């Protein structure tokens, strides 16, 4: 992270604490790594984001319904989903300081350390060349404090002499990564190149898988028979309750089930403020669609993705690729509606080797955080992986009956059905699939049954909160009434998600008529939006306080409002706009409508 980005991040973190957005969990006890609390402003911000997501994903649509499931579920859910066996990150332990390091984040963590930055200053910029004498001096001096367990620090002469030998034999470090490994290695012949601990420079163990699920026990006895897990994603409850939702609601494929709730992951190295936490909130939609084979049987063809295809209105002939693109488009529009336009977003189409075990395609929507461009949301095409796993492990039938499919296949002759099976067999995705298995699958389709396929837009609420705060944070130089320049800190949050929508001020707090009128205005708005009444300090200071928490509008009740300067401006107030700092005079009677037009 550049110095500038680091400073910006520090300012955001400091503002979040100062103005009650985000606090460290259990701070008075020294905090707990990876856990965060949201203060009064943060709680409002998160609630607004949650509400906009729910509104957009469920209430604005007639094809999505909601779910609110328990956090702890039957443990077999997590065996079926693959989490017990595969939900792990590679972890190394430092043999010296015993700290844990997520191996695939090793290089990113190294880059953040003072000792690696200090060593980097000794290397000729843009090359991998250095003076061994400089490193020796560093190992005997500065290094002692910064990386006490690095071989170069513990045994500088030996480490540098064999490094010089290796370089002379043409086997020196090929790049910066290798240079740090050389500096961590004392006895090459015995240990091979050692990977240094980012924290102290000591030797890291080889990576081993570490399961990220938090384990607990239900009931009073702690045994292997009553293990349970805090859910690592909200998605599985949706799959497990799929049939209940289908049977109890008037929904038909294609349709979605949305859920917002807490998820827990015992992250090895929680990093970057709230970005990677151990407890966080997810907002997930599982959107169930017909398998492409069913679409083909009903409509004779399947619409696949092609550049420029119209994604505005779903079509019954869409295959999974079109639905996948559609949801990427929908989610992009949603982000724009909360102030995250395409200028701050990016997209990463995962390569086949990056895909999770359940996914046939995944797009990550990325946000340009100060610490780097990182994932905000993943949109995965999960096929029928989850439903078929839960069907297998629970023994319960999760297939749906599709009347249109049945009607279409009833018209097929035996010859046409055989042709269909032949085509499936030829185009089979997996060479292991036998003709018999394909026939069983096709027979079900001919009877109108299938397991729906799934497109899953999965967003993290905490990451989204951090993203909108980072995008909104701004500092600008302004001149006050006396012509003095000062720095104005302002959160340019979209009015829809701003914690406070409007602040109401009486010009002076010692004039009861002004106070009474301001309180009246406050009361008239409070039932409709989150407002804040403030009478303390100069008006300019009150504006600045609201700017810092992103309040888009401030209303001031002055002598004109109460008719002291004549009847023309009676019952009008000044409305001040956060971003432009422009003020306008408007009748109190029009205030609510004006504000609502901006915040809804
Ligand atoms: N059901 C799919 C799923 O859980 P994921 O990519 O692991 O996919 C989805 O998580 C989203 O949840 C991420 O894009 C991110 O926004 C959020 N998320 C995941 N792990 C997180 C963590 N440790 N801290 C904060 N947010 C996290």
Q: Where are the domains of the chain?
A: 41-76+217-396+453-464, 88-209, 403-447, 500-599
pLDDT at residue number 187: 82
Distance 459 CA to ligand 1 centre (A): 7
Give the nearest ligand 1 atom to 365 CA.
14
Residues facing residue 369 across a β-bridge = 372
Report whether residue 277 contacts ligand 1, using a CB cutoff of 6 Å. yes
Half-sphere exposure of 401 (CA within 13 A, CB side): 6
* Fold exhibited by the domain 500-599: Rossmann fold (3.40.50)
Pair 98, 123: CB distance under 8 Å:
no
b/e sequence 37-51, b meaning 16+ C-beta within 10 Å: ebbebbebbbebbbe
Q: How many CB atoms lie within 10 A of CB 216?
A: 12
Structure tokens at 68: 């609110």
Residue whose tokens read 């406070």: 500
Residues 6+ apart with CB under 8 A from 281: 46, 50, 260, 261, 262, 263, 460, 461, 462
Residue whose tokens read 């302004």: 478
The angle subtended at Cα 124 by Cα 121 and Cα 130, nearest 5°, is 90
Report whether residue 89 contacts ligand 1, using a CB cutoff of 6 Å. no
Give the helix/strand (H/E) hosting 89.
strand 88-93
Q: Whose CA is nearest to atom 5 of ligand 1?
A: 378
Distance 464 CA to ligand 1 centre (A): 11
Residues facing residue 260 across a β-bridge = 283
CB burial of residue 168 (10 Å; 0-12, 13-18, 19+) = exposed
Report whether residue 463 contacts ligand 1, using a CB cutoff of 6 Å. yes
Q: Look at strands 531-533 and 502-506 and give their pairing.
A: parallel
Report whether residue 261 contacts ligand 1, using a CB cutoff of 6 Å. no
- The CA distance from 326 to 305, in Å, is 10
Residue whose tokens read 């367990």: 149
* Fold exhibited by the domain 41-76+217-396+453-464: BirA Bifunctional Protein; domain 2 (3.30.930)
Structure tokens at 447: 């009877």
φ, ψ for residue 591 (rounded to 5)?
-60, -55
Report whether residue 282 contacts ligand 1, using a CB cutoff of 6 Å. yes
Helix and strand numbers (H, E) in the chain are 24, 23
DSSP state of 444: H
Q: 110 to each of 49, 115, 159, 588, how far by Cα in Å?
A: 34, 9, 20, 58
Least Cα distance to 281 among 302, 303, 265, 301 occurs for: 265
Q: Whose CA is nearest to atom 26 of ligand 1?
A: 460
Q: 530 to each of 52, 321, 363, 500, 543, how far by Cα in Å?
A: 15, 41, 36, 5, 17
Give the helix/strand (H/E) hosting 532.
strand 531-533
Q: Whose CA is nearest to atom 14 of ligand 1?
A: 377
Report whether residue 378 contacts ligand 1, using a CB cutoff of 6 Å. yes
User: SS3 sequence, 141-168?
Assistant: CCHHHHCCCCHHHHCHHHHHHHHHHHHH
Report whether residue 386 contacts ligand 1, using a CB cutoff of 6 Å. no
pLDDT at residue number 132: 85
Distance 460 CA to ligand 1 centre (A): 6
Distance 206 CA to ligand 1 centre (A): 26
- The CA distance from 56 to 60, in Å, is 5
Distance 44 CA to ligand 1 centre (A): 22
Give the nearest ligand 1 atom to 284 CA.
1
Q: Whose CA is nearest to atom 18 of ligand 1?
A: 460
Q: How many CB atoms lie within 10 A of CB 400?
A: 20
pLDDT at residue number 430: 73
Distance 283 CA to ligand 1 centre (A): 9
> Could you tell me how many residues make up the chain?
600
Give the nearest ligand 1 atom to 282 CA.
12
Least Cα distance to 291 among 253, 328, 258 occurs for: 253
Structure tokens at 231: 């859910």
Report whether residue 272 contacts ligand 1, using a CB cutoff of 6 Å. no
pLDDT in tens, the chain (600 residues): 788 999 999 999 999 999 999 999 999 999 999 999 999 999 999 999 999 999 999 999 999 999 999 999 999 999 999 999 999 999 999 999 999 999 988 998 998 899 999 999 988 877 777 888 899 999 999 999 999 999 999 999 989 888 888 888 888 888 888 899 999 998 887 888 999 999 999 999 999 999 999 999 999 989 988 999 999 999 999 999 999 999 999 899 999 999 999 999 999 988 899 999 999 999 999 999 999 999 999 999 999 999 999 999 999 999 999 999 999 999 999 999 999 999 999 999 999 999 988 899 999 999 999 999 999 999 999 999 999 999 999 999 999 999 999 999 999 999 999 999 999 998 877 778 888 999 999 999 999 999 999 999 999 999 999 999 999 999 999 987 788 899 999 999 999 999 999 999 999 999 999 999 999 999 999 999 999 999 999 999 999 999 999 999 999 999 999 999 989 999 999 999 999 999 999 999 999 999 999 998
Report whether residue 332 contacts ligand 1, using a CB cutoff of 6 Å. no
The DSSP secondary structure of 352-411, one letter per residue, reads GGGS-TT-SEEEEEEEEETTEEEEEEEEEEEETHHHHHHHHHH-----EE-HHHHHHHHT
Beta-strand ranges (E) seen in 137-291 are 208-211, 215-217, 227-229, 255-264, 279-289
Give the nearest ligand 1 atom to 377 CA.
14
Q: 7 to each of 2, 11, 13, 14, 371, how far by Cα in Å?
A: 9, 6, 10, 10, 10
The angle subtended at Cα 369 by Cα 368 and Cα 372, nearest 5°, is 80
Residues 6+ apart with CB under 8 A from 350: 359, 361, 362, 363, 364
Half-sphere exposure of 33 (CA within 13 A, CB side): 8
CB burial of residue 105 (10 Å; 0-12, 13-18, 19+) = middle
Give the helix/strand (H/E) hosting 476.
strand 473-479
The DSSP secondary structure of 563-594, one letter per residue, reads TTT-STTTTEEEEEETTT--EEEEEHHHHHHH
Distance 552 CA to ligand 1 centre (A): 30
Structure tokens at 258: 């949305």
Helices 435-446 and 403-410: crossing angle in degrees, nearest 10, is 110
Q: Whose CA is nearest to atom 16 of ligand 1?
A: 460
Best of 49, 454, 460 to mutate for ligand 1, by most ligand atoms within 8 A of CB? 460
């Amino acid at each position: 992270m550049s110095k500038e980005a680091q400073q910006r991040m520090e300012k955001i973190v400091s503002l979040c604490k100062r103005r009650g957005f985000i606090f460290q969990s259990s701070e008075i006890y020294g905090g707990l790594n990876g856990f965060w609390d949201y203060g009064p402003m943060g709680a409002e911000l998160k609630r607004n984001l949650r509400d906009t997501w729910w509104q957009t994903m469920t209430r604005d649509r007639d094809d999505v319904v909601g779910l609110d499931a328990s956090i702890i579920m039957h443990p077999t859910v997590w065996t079926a989903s693959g989490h017990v066996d595969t939900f792990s990150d590679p972890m190394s332990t430092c043999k010296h300081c015993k700290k844990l390091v997520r191996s695939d984040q090793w290089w990113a963590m190294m880059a953040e350390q003072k000792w690696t930055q200090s060593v980097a200053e000794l290397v000729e910029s843009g090359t991998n060349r250095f003076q061994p004498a400089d490193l020796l001096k560093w190992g005997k001096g500065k290094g002692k404090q910064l990386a006490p367990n690095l071989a170069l620090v513990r045994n500088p002469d030996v480490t540098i002499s064999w490094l010089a030998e290796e370089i002379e034999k043409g086997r020196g470090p090929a790049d910066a990564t290798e240079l740090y490994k050389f500096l961590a290695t004392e006895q090459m012949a015995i240990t091979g190149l050692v990977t240094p601990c980012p924290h102290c420079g000591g030797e890291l163990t080889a990576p081993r898988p570490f399961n990220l699920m938090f384990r607990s026990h239900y009931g009073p006895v702690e045994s292997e028979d009553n293990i349970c897990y805090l859910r690592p994603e909200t998605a599985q409850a949706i799959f497990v309750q799929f049939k209940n939702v289908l049977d109890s609601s008037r929904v038909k494929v294609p349709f979605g089930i949305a859920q917002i709730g807490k998820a827990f992951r015992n992250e090895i190295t929680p990093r970057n403020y709230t970005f990677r936490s151990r407890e966080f909130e997810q907002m997930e939609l599982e959107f169930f669609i017909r398998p492409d084979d069913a679409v083909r049987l009903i409509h004779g063809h399947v619409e696949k993705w092609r550049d420029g295809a119209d994604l505005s209105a779903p079509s019954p002939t869409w295959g999974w690729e079109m639905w996948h693109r559609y949801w990427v488009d929908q989610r992009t529009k949603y982000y724009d509606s909360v102030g995250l336009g395409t200028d701050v977003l990016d997209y990463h189409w995962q390569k086949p080797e990056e895909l999770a075990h359940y996914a046939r395609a995944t797009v990550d929507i990325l946000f340009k955080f100060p610490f780097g461009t990182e994932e905000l949301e993943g949109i995965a095409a999960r096929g029928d992986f989850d439903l078929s796993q839960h069907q297998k492990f629970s023994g319960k039938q999760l297939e749906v009956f599709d009347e249109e499919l049945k009607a279409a296949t009833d018209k097929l002759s035996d010859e046409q059905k055989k042709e269909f099976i032949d085509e499936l067999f030829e185009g089979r995705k997996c060479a292991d699939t036998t003709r018999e298995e394909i026939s069983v699958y096709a027979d079900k389709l001919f009877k109108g049954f299938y397991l729906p396929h799934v497109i899953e837009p999965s967003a993290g609420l905490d990451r989204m909160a951090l993203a909108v705060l980072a995008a909104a944070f701004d500092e600008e130089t302004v001149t006050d009434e006396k012509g003095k320049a000062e720095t104005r800190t302002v959160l340019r949050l979209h009015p829809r998600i701003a914690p406070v929508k409007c602040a109401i001020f009486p010009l002076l707090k010692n004039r009861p008529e002004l106070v009474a009128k301001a309180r009246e205005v406050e009361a008239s708005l409070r039932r409709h939006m989150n407002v804040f009444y403030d009478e303390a300090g100069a008006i300019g200071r009150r504006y600045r306080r609201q700017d810092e928490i992103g309040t888009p509008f401030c209303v001031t009740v002055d002598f004109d409002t109460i008719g002291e300067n004549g009847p023309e401006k009676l019952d009008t107030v000044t409305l001040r706009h956060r971003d432009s700092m422009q003020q306008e005079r408007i009748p109190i009677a029009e205030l609510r409508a004006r504000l609502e037009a901006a915040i809804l």
